């Protein structure tokens, strides 16, 4: 697939086009994904254009919202005020009347981190959203947790092919890692399309550093599960372009009193 076609397919998810280098990285990634998919089941989606929109589009949509300042004040976590030039949403689980977050890039198009640069992804599978986040923001220190050895090997192969640095693939289950005192923590933890969501959610929160953000790419049917995670201040869900059921939700870890 050409870089121009990839760019056109990603247009609904972004406010700024990707660079030629980033588009080339995505092209290499797709080629590797298709090759490995012939041997192991990395993703049920085999059509290249659908891979771009469903996997890369959603992941990069997360990237542009994730690396921007997030309001962690409890009194504002469920209300977006019209005084700020945004629409109001009093229902924390409503997907209506929501305006997109401000673009995280400065006037030169450079990525601006919101807090720290440690990012941890749980259940990485074929690498979404974690590896597209690294394409978007190569400065981050990225940790991927994937217990399947074949999928873990694929993640390492993509990382080598794209010449990523500051990346660590851990081939263990998240709950096993959390039994260790020195388990990793990050300023951003991401979670997408995992089984047993209600069980993984509190584990994901445990990986958060102080004032960190948990970023979820989930279906609207899973929104009610967020209410039990009271250690986080949830922002209103943001509908993902080209989907009627998928949303992005960001939660900020509350400060300990």
152-209 pLDDT, tens per residue?
999 999 999 999 999 999 999 999 999 999 999 999 999 997 778 888 999 999 999 9
Find the CATH number of the domain harbouring 16.
3.40.50.150
Q: Which domain holds residue 56?
A: 3-253
Taking residue 131's Cβ as centre, other Cβ atoms within 10 Å add up to 26
* Res. 70: pLDDT tops 70: no
What are the pLDDT digits (tens) for 101-158? 344 443 333 344 444 689 999 999 999 999 999 999 999 999 999 999 999 999 999 9
Q: Which residues contact 120 (CB under 8 A, 6 or more apart)?
A: 142, 143, 144, 145, 184, 185, 186, 188, 189, 190, 207
pLDDT band per the 50, 70, 90 thresholds, residue 87: very low
The larger pLDDT score, comparing residue 16 to residue 91, is at 16
With beta carbons less than 8 A apart as the criterion, state whether 77 and 252 touch. yes
Please report the pLDDT score of residue 61 as a whole number: 97
Q: Model pTM greater than 0.85?
A: no
Q: What mean pLDDT comes out for the span 242-251? A: 94
Rounded to 10 degrees, the C-alpha dihedral 22/23/26/32 comes to: -110
Alpha helices in the chain (DSSP H): 3-10, 20-37, 48-50, 58-66, 130-136, 149-161, 174-177, 197-206
The larger pLDDT score, comparing residue 142 to residue 76, is at 142
* Res. 96: pLDDT tops 70: no
Q: Which of 198, 179, 185, 61 lies closest to 129, judged by CA?
A: 61
User: Which percentage of the chain shows pLDDT scores above 90?
Assistant: 71
* Res. 93: pLDDT tops 80: no
What are the pLDDT digits (tens) for 11-62? 999 998 999 999 999 999 999 999 999 999 999 999 999 999 999 999 999 9
Q: How many distinct structural domains can be found in the chain?
A: 1
Q: What is the DSSP string of 220-248?
A: GGGGGGGGG-TTEEEPPPEEPTT-SSEEE
Please report the pLDDT score of residue 227 as a whole number: 87
């Amino acid at each position: 697939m050409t870089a121009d076609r990839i760019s056109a397919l990603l247009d609904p998810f972004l406010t700024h086009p990707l660079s030629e280098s980033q588009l080339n990285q995505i092209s290499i990634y797709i080629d590797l994904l298709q090759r490995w998919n012939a041997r192991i089941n990395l993703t049920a989606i085999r059509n290249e254009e659908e891979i771009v929109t469903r996997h890369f589009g959603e992941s990069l949509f997360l990237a542009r919202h994730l690396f921007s300042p997030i309001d962690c004040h409890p009194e504002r976590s469920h209300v977006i005020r019209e005084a700020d030039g945004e629409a109001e949403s009093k229902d924390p689980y409503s997907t209506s009347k929501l305006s997109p977050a401000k673009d995280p890039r400065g006037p030169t198009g450079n990525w601006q981190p919101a807090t720290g640069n440690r990012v941890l992804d749980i259940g990485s599978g074929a690498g979404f959203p974690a590896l597209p986040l690294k394409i978007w923001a190569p400065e981050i220190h990225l940790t991927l947790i994937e217990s399947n050895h074949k999928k873990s090997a694929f993640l390492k192969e993509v990382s080598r092919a794209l010449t990523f640095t500051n990346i660590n693939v851990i081939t263990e289950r998240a709950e096993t890692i959390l039994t260790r005192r020195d388990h990793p923590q990050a300023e951003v933890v991401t979670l997408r399309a995992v089984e047993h969501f209600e069980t993984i959610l509190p584990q994901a929160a445990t990986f958060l550093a102080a004032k960190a953000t948990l970023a979820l790419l989930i279906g609207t049917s899973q929104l009610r599960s967020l209410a039990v995670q009271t250690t986080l201040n949830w922002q209103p869900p943001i509908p993902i372009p080209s989907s009627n059921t998928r949303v992005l939700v960001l939660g900020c870890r509350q400060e300990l009193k």
